[in-house]
Structures are given as C-alpha cells and as structure tokens.
Structure 1
Amino acid sequence: MTLIAEDLFLVLVDDVTGKPIVDSTKFPRVLAGALVLELAMNGAVRITAKGEVVKDGRLVVSGPPPQDPLLARVHAFIGTENNPPKPQKVIEKLHKNLKQEIGLRLAQRGAVTQHEDRILGLFPTTSWPARDTTRTAWLIQWIHSAIVDGTTPLPEISAVVSMLSAIDAVHKVLPAADKRAAKRRAKDIAEGDWAGEAVRKAVQDVNAALAVAIVVPAIAASGS
C-alpha cells in the first residue's frame, strides 16, 4: 500500500534534482498532515466535534492501529497523549526527520535514489532523484485530470489534492495549468463529498493546522 504521504513526496520532489519543489517549512509538515489524514480515512483516529466530553477539534483514537509501522507510530502517539492533541501539535511533533524516513521507504522500493552530498563541502544534504517514475506519472496524470479536465477523482487523488491545496502547491505540480483556476478547483475537491463527514472534518482541521504550522515558523524566521 502506498501512503498519501508517499504520494505527496513523489509529486513534490523534482525527478531530476531530487529536491522538494516547495519550501522546507511546508514540505515535512504536509507529509505529517497526510499521515493524520490517512489515519482518519482508515477510521483509526477521528477529530472530536462540539458537544463531546473531549474538547472540539482534538485527535482521538477510534480504531485499532494500522499494520504500516509509520502509521502505527502516529496512531500510538495520538493514543498515549494525556490530553488529546490538536492536529497542529501532532504535525509539529511528527514532521522532524519525516522526509528522510519517507524517502528511505521509497528508495527501498526503487522509486527514488538516495543521494548524499555536501553544501560548500561542509554541510551534509540529501536529495532523492527519481529512479522509477511510474507512480509519479500516474499521480500527475490523475491530478491533471481532476484539476484541469474536471473529472471526479478517486479518494486517494482527492486526498493528495486536498493536501496540495492546504500548502498552495497545486500550481507547483501542474505548472502549465491556470494558477487561479487550479487553486479554486483544488479547494472544491478538498471540500467535496468524496469522503464521509468524519473525514471531511479531518480534511478541514488538518488543512487549518497546516496553515498555522506553516505561518508560525515563517513569522519566527522573519523576526530573527
């Protein structure tokens, strides 16, 4: 099974350079957000609503842990918190080293190659140039079909599009598409009826959490 986070990695990393096409604040955090969304889509976690004992907008365990070890780790983190966390807290906790972990998973499958280098001969850096672009090409084809042609996407494509919309990166994946129209269509898909009510709430809350998680480090960096 390919995770939503892995699909995002493939479409957000340049096939030739192996570098992300979005900035270093957005990239790891959208991967973390995708893990939370995947757990919600699988029914393993859910986001609380108003009127519950637990405060509104908190992540709680609602099903058994998935078999995938990465998802299981996120599930365990959510389940062992003393106070049910908000999606933003989970994203901030998980995003560190996540791109490296997902890159290694994809490298083991032969989708990318791990390339180690040093900037100015001093600072280590890792890139992930493509090795097998079959999955990436399939993803971009269906994202293009949904965004440009207006077709109804599969749930897995809708999930990827919703995460791209959250970080305003659809035009990065489809650079030839009209930016304004693509952004509007991606938002429509993210808010669409492609999943049940619980998952739609997860999409909304994860997208909102990503917006905050991206803006806060950017403000801190500009003020330093």
Structure 2
Amino acid sequence: MLIAEDLLLLLYDDESGKPIAGSPGLDYALAGAVLIELTLLGKTDITAAGDGVKPGRLKVLDAAPTGDPILDERLAFVVGKPGKRPKDQIGRLSKKLRDQLLTRLADRGVLEADEDKVLGLFPVTRWPAKDARHEAEVRSKLEAVLKVGTTPDERTGALIALLSALNVVAKVVTDAVDKKALKQRAKQIAESDWAADAVRKAVTEMQAAVTAAIVVASSTAAASGSS
C-alpha cells in the first residue's frame, strides 16, 4: 500500500468510520505522503543550495509513470508545474485525493463504505474498517518506534513525521500513559536522521508544507468569519 493509504487508515476511526483529524490538514498530509512516496521511488526530489536553482523546490527526476494511477496523476501535475515550493502545490495536489484513496481501500475490502443521511436529509458516507489486518501491522511498527524506541524504517518515519505535523500522534496511539512524552518522541523522530538525504529533505519539506498550509487555511477561514 501507499504511505498515503497507511496514513488514511490511521486517521480514520475503525468503528465510527469518521476522521480523527480535521480538514484541510488531513488532506494536505495525504498529499505530502504522496510526494514522499514519489521521492522514495526516485521520481521527485527537493532542490538544495548549489543545485543551480532556488532551494526547496520540487524537482522531477523521472517523469515515467509508476503504474499507480493516484501517484501518476500527482506526478503529472508536478511535471507540468516544475520549480514550485511544496507548500504552494500541496493544496492542488490534495484535490480529490482523499476520496480516491477511500474508494480504493473500500474496493480492496479494507474499508467499508457506509452510506447514511444526516437528519434524514443530507447524504454522508462513513468508512469503518472491514479488514484491519494491514492497519494492525502499520500500528505495530508505529508503536515499536514511539513506545519501545526502535529505529524507524523510511515509511514508518514518514508516517510519524506527518502525524506529528497534524498533532494527532496521541489520537493514533491512544494507550500511551504519558501523552507529552509520546509527542516529544514523535517530534524527535521527525527531526532525526533515519532516512536517505533525499527522503529526509522530502519529509522535512512536507512537514513544513502541511503546517504552512494549515496556518494559511485557518487564517483565511478566520478572516472570512470576521468579515
């Protein structure tokens, strides 16, 4: 599964089928997970000082399709918009992404699409777990890093960094006695050297992009509410 799919499973309650993180942060984190995946596949990179271009920009290394339609749609977008900062692209990259991932997970039998109506009028779809075996494996790796102190692999490290950016680590690992220590451990992992340089750059930029996008969205909403 994609990192974005693992992240989505962690961010939806297995029983209620409701997200535990709000919008737009959840959607931006999913887009960040896709860009990290493309970096792991050697498709994209983040420019650094000395590359001959402005640092901190998205760079395409290989525009050939990955074979995954969700990844390829976002890769094509980055190809068409080169040299942009992740935080300026993450909103566009997140469009329809959550729905695509949820639908695909339901098609695979991992989630169940539970359709209902709010107040008997407004249609709403919940996404409770149908087969939680893969999610259980992801959670096991996550808890081994956060609670036991094992070194994360690149995918688990990326998940922890994105969860930390959303400030939902304590909502995902709910049985931790010391929530403050759990958050500090997640922040430490997010900032430590557990991956190749390209992946570390991507994770750091995605964290910053998610945080910046949330701040901008919150500011815009606040301004709209006061006008």
The match for 1:164 is 163
Q: RMSD of the alignment, in Å?
A: 1.4
Residue 118 of structure 1 pairs with residue 120 of structure 2: no
| Matched ranges for 1:43-58 at <5 A | 43-58=42-57
Identity %: 45
TM alignment of 1:10-159, pairs within 5 A: 10-63=9-62, 64-81=64-81, 83-159=82-158
Q: In the TM superposition, what are the counterparts of 1:186-197 in structure 2 within 5 Å?
A: 186-197=186-197
Q: Secondary structure of 1:148's match? A: helix
What's the TM-score, normalizing by structure 1? 0.94
Write out per-residue CA displacement over residues 159-214 of structure 1, whole angstroms, 9 at most, x where no aligned residue: 21111111111111012222221111112222222211111111111100100111
Answer whether contact 2:70 2:100 (CA < 8 A) is retained: no
Which whole-Å CA distance do the structure 2 matches of 1:155 and 1:201 have between them? 12
Q: Deviations over 1:119-164 (max 9, x none)?
A: 2233322211100010111111221111011112222211211111
Gap regions ≥5 residues in structure 2: none
Partner SS for 2:148: coil
**What letter matches 2:174 in structure 1?**
P
Distance (Å, rounded) in 2 between the aligned partners of 1:163 and 1:79? 24
| Conserved? CA contact 2:43–2:60, under 8 Å | yes
SS of equivalent to 1:188? helix
Write out aligned runs for 1:194-213 (5 A).
194-213=194-213
For these two proteins, the number of residue pairs brought into alignment is 222
Q: Determine if contact 2:110/2:131 at 8 Å carries over to the other structure.
A: yes
Counterpart residue identity of residue 97, structure 1: K
TM (norm. structure 2) is 0.93
1:23 CA displacement = 1.0
Q: Deviations over 1:31-53 (max 9, x none)?
A: 11100111112211001112333
In structure 2, what is the equivalent of residue 216 of structure 1? 216
SS at match of 1:49: coil
